[in-house]
Each structure stands twice: as structure tokens, then as C-alpha cells.
């Protein structure tokens, strides 16, 4: 029986359950083929090479983003050296973006699966002719249309991760309840990588997956969809089911949430169903920058949605992008300072605008000669921090270094504010306003005044004061 080793090459630092690889693994398992799973966040290159070598596998399949892709190339080269005859397959966003150039970047790769891999990998293992398998790209084939429309989403089994070491991925279960993105934000490659058509699993299928993992003991769930709330009725029906079924001990997080999809009604339903956290892409507080990003929503819409979510007590995380053309230092500072407005914004994730292959901004950056070396389009990490390989021809570099102290200061501020808010809740102070909370945070960050504040809080706790 043919065997394949699947490698999660998404280098995210802290291990995060690779949902996409899980779907591919489940398709292989349901088709009756043998496989094993490796993860670059859990194992060294040497350990992975040894696993592949010991398994005598026929195939190795690796998924990769563009960031740190060269490290995955090094791993695949080591595998080829150890097993000269193994067939190496690459998938994931970078494989879609680079297309035929992938074989020049890493000659040890034998083929690429573009788009969704569940059916393609099974057909490959079944021995189907390569030219008959949608999405297969080889060194001698021509790049074709990525075959998202060939895969019926209702036929896909959700992943059960039987060969994944789940205890190493924490106590939160990731659920991807939909695929694709109908928007075309300039900094994002989701439509190219996931498909331009939004396709969602039906409510019954979503409930089945949730209840399966609930039965396995999971109580924290993370929805990783790009557009979780696009179909409001589906979300409301799911939330209603959770409430009416008395799943009172669960906690949900929704990551892919657009502000213009959120209303008081839908946020209230989500709150009732124990959605505690949401993550929104704010990107900028400047409407001109939002237009450049092609967000198709205004800052007023974004701010209104966050205001509603804040008033309902959601824990809110936001994404901000620094470095749009013509963005000034003052523009960026206004975006950096935005979390000061709402007490329940607990985290700001800052990203430097980077020309990642497969995004509209990549084409813009090349057209406007913002980059001269394509290798800089592989950022070292997807979000957070800096990409030092960007050169000084990119306008973002003119302000990024000067903004780092403000970004660091805001990160420390939010960390302290979160701690103070939790402490006040323990003391029974539930409704403190954002202005007072910000003042307490500033005081606590002052080493001289914080001694007095901490003593006062301890005294209030001892006396049972509220």
C-alpha cells in the first residue's frame, strides 16, 4: 500500500492545529491509504527526515506559506538527499502563488497541488494519470486555472486528527466552517488561495463537527474562517442551537469577522451563545488608506461595529497594517492609538505592509519599483514584528523604524490594561469606564505611582471594598 508523510510547513512559532492538513489527512484516511503527520513547529528537520526515512513512504506532501518558505525548501532538500526516490509534493498558498516558478526555487519538488487537495491527493494515491487530476502542476505542465469549483464542499469529511498529537496543540479546537473570500483586499491573497466564491458548510454539518469535539471533551472552539459572519442566518441559527441545547460550558472565538457584517442583532446572538472573543481587520483609521487596501468598508463602519462589540463585553483583537503608500507618521500613530478608545480591545496585531506573492499589493509593489529583489517577498513571519529583508525602496521603511517604539509602548499598555481590568473584576468593579481604566494603566506603568496603586488595591481587597 502506498504511504504518504504529510508535513505541516506553516511556521507559526507556537503550535497551531493545521486545519487544512487535517482535511487532507482525513480524505487520505477515508480512502484507505496509510499516512503519518509531521509538524515543523513540533519537530526538528532532522527528526522529520528520520521519520520519512524510517517510514519508507512513497510520497511526501508539504504545505507552505510564503514566509520562511526557504526553510521548508531546506527540509525538502534534506528529505531528497535521504530518500532519492520519494515523490515530493508541495501545496498551500505559496505553491499557488509561485506556480511554475516553484520548480526553479526548489528543484527537488516533483509536483504541486494547487487549490484544495482532498480529492487530488486521493486520485494521485489511486494512481490516476497526472493529466487527469485537477490542480496538479509538474515541471513539464502548463499552469492552469486553480480548480476550486471542482470540489463539492458538502462531500468533505471534517478532520478527526487521529494521527495528530492533539495534546501538543492546546485545549482549543479549530473549526473552519467555510472556504473562500468574495473580497479582494490588496494586502491579502485569500481569494487566490482559497477561491473567490464563498462556500460554507451547512448548519447540520457544522453542528455535527462541533458536537463530535464536544463529546471528546473540548470546550473552547476557534472559528478560523475568512468570513465567518457572511451568512448571518447561518450564524444566528448556530447560536440559537447552542443556546437551546444548553451548551453553557463552551467558549467560542471568531477570527475572520468583517465589521460591515456585524449588527447589534448578530452580536447579541453570538454573545448569548458564549462567543467571548472576536478578531477584526481594522487595518487603518484612515479612509484613504482603507480605499488603497480595497477594503470595501469605511472606518465609520468599522468603528461602529467595534463600539457595539465593546458595549456587549466582547474581548476584541484587531489587525493593523503600517506602510500604505503616502501614509504619514501621524496617520500611523492615530491607528496605533486606536485601542485607547475602547476598553475591551485587548490586543493589537501590527503588521508591516509586505508584498507577498499572490496578493494585489505584490503586483503594485513590482509595478512601482518598490522592490528590486523578489526574495524579499517572503516575509519572515505572517504578522507581528518586522521583515528586515525589505529594502529601503519600500515606503513603509521610511516610517516603520520610527514607529516601533510607539508599537511596543501600545503592546505593553494593552497587556497592563488587561491585567488591571481582570484585577478590578475580581474586586467587583465591572463597569469602570475606558478613560478611568486608561488612567489607571498609565499610573501602573509609572514605576513610582504604581507602588501606591498596588498598595491601594491590596488594601481594598483586604477590606472587601467595592
Instruction: Give the Cα separation of 278 and 316 in Å (integer).
Output: 5
How does DSSP classify residue 253?
E
Higher model confidence: residue 273 or residue 399?
A: 273
What 178-183 contacts at long range (C-beta under 8 Å, 24+ apart), as own/partner pairs, is 178/225, 178/226, 178/227, 178/228, 178/230, 179/116, 179/153, 179/225, 179/226, 180/148, 180/226, 180/227, 181/226, 181/227, 182/227, 182/230, 183/227, 183/258, 183/294, 183/295, 183/296
pLDDT tens sequence across 179-235: 989 999 999 988 888 888 899 999 999 999 999 999 999 999 999 998 999 999 999
Q: Compute the Cα dihedral for 95, 97, 101, 105 and give only its sign.
A: negative
| Residue 444 predicted with pLDDT over 60 | yes
Nearest CA-CA partner of 352 in 386, 326, 380, 328: 386
pLDDT tens sequence across 159-177: 999 999 999 999 999 999 9
Which whole-number Å values give the CA distances from 390 to 85, 139, 185, 325, 387, in the listed order? 37, 30, 21, 15, 6
93 close to 66: Cβ distance less than 8 angstroms:
yes
308 close to 287: Cβ distance less than 8 angstroms:
no
Bridge partners of residue 321, in order along the sequence: 351
Nearest CA-CA partner of 345 in 373, 381, 326, 319: 319
In the CATH scheme, what is the homologous superfamily, with its name and number, of domain 3-153? Answer: Cobalamin-binding domain (3.40.50.280)
| Residue 398 predicted with pLDDT over 80 | no
Instruction: Give me 68's grid cell.
Output: 520562511
| Residue 256 predicted with pLDDT over 60 | yes
For residue 387, name the pLDDT band (cuts at 50, 70, 90). Answer: very low
For residue 7, name the pLDDT band (cuts at 50, 70, 90). Answer: very high
Q: Is the pTM of this model over 0.85?
A: yes
For residue 455, name the pLDDT band (cuts at 50, 70, 90). Answer: low
Domain ranges across the chain? 3-153, 172-353, 404-466
pLDDT tens sequence across 106-124: 999 999 998 888 989 999 9
CATH code that applies to domain 172-353: 3.20.20.70
Share of the chain above pLDDT 90, in %: 64
Instruction: Give the Cα separation of 8 and 48 in Å (integer).
Output: 11
| Residue 247 predicted with pLDDT over 70 | yes
Of 133-147, 157-171, 239-253, 303-317, the least confident: 133-147
pLDDT at residue 426, rounded to an integer: 85
| Residue 150 predicted with pLDDT over 80 | no
pLDDT at residue 451, rounded to an integer: 62
Amino acid at each position: 500500500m502506498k504511504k504518504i508523510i504529510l508535513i505541516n510547513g506553516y511556521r507559526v512559532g507556537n503550535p497551531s492545529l493545521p486545519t487544512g492538513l487535517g482535511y487532507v489527512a482525513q480524505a487520505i484516511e477515508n480512502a484507505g491509504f496509510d499516512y503519518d503527520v509531521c509538524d515543523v513547529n513540533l519537530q526538528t528537520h532532522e527528526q522529520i527526515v528520520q521519520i520519512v526515512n524510517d517510514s519508507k513512504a512513497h510520497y511526501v506532501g508539504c504545505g507552505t506559506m510564503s514566509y520562511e518558505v526557504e526553510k521548508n525548501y531546506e527540509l525538502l532538500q534534506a528529505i531528497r538527499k535521504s530518500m532519492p526516490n520519494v515523490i515530493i509534493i508541495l501545496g498551500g498558498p505559496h505553491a499557488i502563488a509561485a506556480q511554475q516558478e516553484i520548480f526553479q526555487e526548489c528543484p527537488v519538488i516533483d509536483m504541486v497541488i494547487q487549490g484544495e487537495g482532498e480529492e487530488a491527493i486521493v486520485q494521485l494515491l489511486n494512481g490516476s494519470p497526472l493529466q487527469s487530476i485537477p490542480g496538479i502542476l509538474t515541471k513539464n505542465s502548463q499552469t492552469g486555472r486553480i480548480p476550486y469549483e471542482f470540489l463539492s464542499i458538502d462531500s468533505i469529511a471534517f478532520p478527526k486528527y487521529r494521527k495528530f498529537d492533539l495534546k501538543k496543540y492546546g485545549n482549543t479546537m479549530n473549526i473552519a466552517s467555510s472556504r473562500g473570500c468574495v473580497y479582494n483586499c490588496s494586502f491579502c491573497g485569500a481569494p487566490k488561495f482559497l477561491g473567490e466564491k464563498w462556500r460554507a458548510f451547512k448548519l447540520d454539518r457544522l453542528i455535527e463537527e462541533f458536537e463530535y469535539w464536544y463529546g471528546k471533551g473540548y470546550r473552547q472552539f476557534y472559528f478560523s474562517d475568512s468570513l465567518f459572519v457572511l451568512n448571518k442566518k447561518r450564524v444566528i441559527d448556530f447560536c440559537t442551537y447552542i443556546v437551546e441545547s444548553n451548551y453553557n460550558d463552551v467558549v467560542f472565538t471568531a477570527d475572520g469577522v468583517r465589521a460591515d457584517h456585524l449588527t447589534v442583532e448578530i452580536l447579541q446572538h453570538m454573545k448569548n451563545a458564549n462567543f467571548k472573543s472576536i478578531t477584526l481587520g481594522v487595518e487603518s483609521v484612515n479612509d484613504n488608506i482603507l480605499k488603497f487596501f480595497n477594503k470595501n468598508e469605511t472606518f465609520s463602519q468599522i468603528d461602529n461595529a467595534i463600539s457595539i462589540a465593546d458595549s456587549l463585553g466582547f474581548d476584541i483583537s484587531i489587525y493593523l497594517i503600517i506602510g500604505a503608500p503616502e501614509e504619514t507618521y501621524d496617520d500611523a500613530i492615530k491607528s496605533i492609538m486606536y485601542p485607547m478608545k475602547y476598553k475591551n480591545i485587548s490586543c493589537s496585531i501590527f503588521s508591516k505592509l509586505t508584498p507577498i506573492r499572490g496578493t494585489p499589493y505584490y503586483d503594485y509593489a513590482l509595478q512601482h519599483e518598490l522592490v528590486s529583489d523578489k526574495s524579499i517577498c517572503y516575509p519572515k513571519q505572517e504578522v507581528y514584528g518586522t521583515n528586515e529583508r525589505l529594502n529601503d525602496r519600500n515606503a513603509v521603511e521610511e516610517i516603520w523604524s520610527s514607529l516601533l517604539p510607539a508599537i511596543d509602548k501600545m503592546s505593553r499598555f494593552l497587556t497592563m490594561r488587561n491585567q488591571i481590568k481582570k484585577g478590578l473584576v475580581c474586586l467587583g468593579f465591572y463597569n469602570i469606564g475606558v478613560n478611568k481604566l486608561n488612567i489607571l494603566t498609565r499610573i501602573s506603568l509609572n514605576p513610582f505611582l504604581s507602588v501606591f496603586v498596588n498598595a491601594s488595591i491590596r488594601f481594598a481587597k483586604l477590606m472587601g471594598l467595592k
